[in-house]
Chain A
Amino acid sequence: MKIIDAVHVFFDYMRKDENDKIEEISPALSDMNLEIEKGSFVCVLGHNGSGKSTFAKMVNGLLLPREGSVYVADMDTADDELLIKIRETAGMVFQNPDNQIIGNIVEEDVAFGPENIGVPTAEIRDRVDEALEAVNMTKYKDRSPGKLSGGQKQRVAIAGVMAMKPECIILDEPTAMLDPKGRKDVIRTVRELNKRDGITIVLITHYMEEAVDADRVVVMDGGRVVMDGTPREIFSRVEELKALRLDVPQITELAYELRKAGMPVPCGILRKEELEEVIMELLFEGDKGSCDSTDTDGTEPDLGTDGTEPDLGTDRPEQDLDTDREDKSEGACQ
């Protein structure tokens, strides 16, 4: 079942002068189509101006499409009557933690959403406690949000959304202003909500490392979806991503460079452990020729090392020297 469905969505930002005459139109979304399955963890990537934040605001009904429609759990965001229901179903977490906390005390902030939709007092209490527990912030419930770290504030913001019992949470670069520790905490929290409570997560981010564990990665450029697939599929297409001015996770990049340098490393390595394993196997493979005793493992590495690969490897670096890296597609796994 799909929870979010964007159909041929167009949107432009307009800049007007004092006389309300349109000075400049900059298109933000042009013919965007995206369906998101209930319960999935989707990561949206794209460089600045690719339209990913605009899309996030569309889902929440903060912006309405100029053309096309966005449906959240089969409700059209253009329908004014449904707006509150839509915002209840699809909660949103923004980039700046300070600018989205309304309450002067953590638990009061978490209660803000349920208060707005008229939940009875006793139930608000339960929901607040539950939401704070879900993001592991219960012991801070009486604190002033100003005294929390960035990561903690962001978790409070997530709790604020959770207290509305949403089916889906859209996070618009929630970790952009956080330190590495805060970033990790927020991502772990989000992943837990997805796995444990089955909340659909749409994570918009700049950090490729955060996309590795998603079920699905969507890459946006120029206001539309240009790539869509599992993290392994997407990060195998290193050259394409680079053409879109996007990076790949560090470890994927390393594997890619190794491959280009002639090592038979498979495409789309996402985690350190995977690369370690591959390299260890390659080392043992190399040793087997000279010294049989080291190969105690006995199993044949299933990651392709057939006879042709080493040959391929030797002439690749030479090619590399005189061809432009950006344009070269031969090295990429397609």
Chain B
Amino acid sequence: MIRDITIGQYYPTDSVIHRLDPRVKLASTMLFLISLFLTESIVGYVFAGAALLAVIRISRIPFKYIVRGLKAVVILLFISVSFNLFLTPGEEIFRLGFLKVTREGLRTALYMAVRLIYLIIGSSLMTLTTTPNQLTDGLEKSLGFLNKVHVPVHEIAMMMSIALRFIPILIEETDKIMKAQMARGADFDTGNLMQRARAMVPILVPLFISAFRRAADLAQAMEARCYHGGAGRTKLKPLRYERRDYIAYLLVALYLVVMVVTRWL
């Protein structure tokens, strides 16, 4: 059951989007999210939707697969829509008991729903087409300027990629410990919340101890392989912009211009 957790789910196929430099994808995603709040008109949303659809097509990820990702946020979507729907003051359309629906409310709720859906699809498109490693590489490179203000960017990126590598190992270990405790009569599934929380303690303690031991071992192994921080380090696969990356930037810029223009439509 615990193995079902997937973090940074990556959809492995070969497409232009997959091959783009992670920095392009990071920047584009950010700009796309901002653009959703720039526009106020239906034309703008239709255009953003069309752009999103086009990217999905190019990425060769099945549409169904992306929609499935939305399921996780249905409740969040529902709550924010109903708040907007019922609590926006304005011209009343109809009323359900003490709840009244206004024209403005309907409008904001609809826009909110569209924005949220685009937002989620847009950002999951990034994680679906970029491996976690490329993502950390991209972050390390694009945040490199923070080094000047003494933010240890390389170290943070290294920690992120190590954490990603150890997630499956620790999940497997948790599973093992749980089974070992269950074999000795531990009960994780009954009782109230407090009792269940307490039942987790005998899992967490050995898990933490083993995680610390692993960390110590890993640190030693890294040192043995000459690791001494980011200074003077080279890369097997350094990030380098290709022609397609510049084209992508250009397209994103064009898209932004259109979105800004739709504000006045």
Contacts and interface: CB of A to CB of B under 8 A. Distances in A.
B213 to A, nearest CB: 8
Contacts of B238: 121
Contacts of B218: 99-100, 102
A128 B235 CA distance: 12
A102 B215 CA distance: 11
Nearest to A103: B165
Contact of A96 (B132, B217, B224, B235): B217
Contact of A87 (B131, B165, B224): B224
B97 interface: no
Interface stretch (A37-45, A107-115, A185-193, A197-205): A107-115
Interface majority SS (helix, strand, loop, mixed), chain A: helix
A60 interface: yes
Contact of A119 (B133, B162, B234): B234
Interface string A51-70: 00000010010100000000
A115 B229 CA distance: 11
Contacts of A62: 220, 223-224
Contacts of B225: 87, 91, 102, 112-113, 116, 160-161, 164
B226 interface: yes
Interface string A118-139: 1111001100100000000000
Nearest to A98: B169
A113 B235 CA distance: 10
B188 interface: no
Nearest to A110: B236
B43 interface: no
A119 B224 CA distance: 17
B226 A128 contact: no
A84 interface: yes
Interface residues of B, number: 28
A94 B221 contact: yes
A105 interface: yes
A75 B236 CA distance: 29
A92 interface: yes
B233 interface: yes
Nearest to A90: B224
A102 B228 contact: no
B81 to A, nearest CB: 38
A57 B233 CA distance: 24
Given A87-B226, A146-B169, A164-B226, A102 B236 contact: no
A161 B131 CA distance: 26
B261 interface: no
Given A104-B161, A112-B227, A120 B234 contact: yes
B226 A116 contact: yes
A65 B221 CA distance: 19
B162 A117 contact: no
A121 B217 contact: no
B221 A116 contact: no
Contact of B226 (A57, A94, A113): A113
A108 B224 CA distance: 17
Interface in B184-241: 214, 217-218, 220-228, 232-238
B223 to A, nearest CB: 6
Given A115-B234, A121-B235, A104 B132 contact: yes
A88 interface: yes
A107 B237 CA distance: 10
A115 B236 contact: yes
A116 to B, nearest CB: 4
B236 A116 contact: no
Contacts of A94: 217, 220-221, 224
B230 to A, nearest CB: 10
Interface in B80-131: 131
7 nearest A-B residue pairs (beta carbon): A100-B221, A111-B236, A99-B217, A116-B226, A113-B225, A92-B224, A118-B232
13 contacts: A57-B220, A60-B224, A84-B226, A84-B228, A91-B225, A94-B217, A99-B221, A100-B217, A104-B133, A104-B165, A107-B236, A112-B227, A124-B235
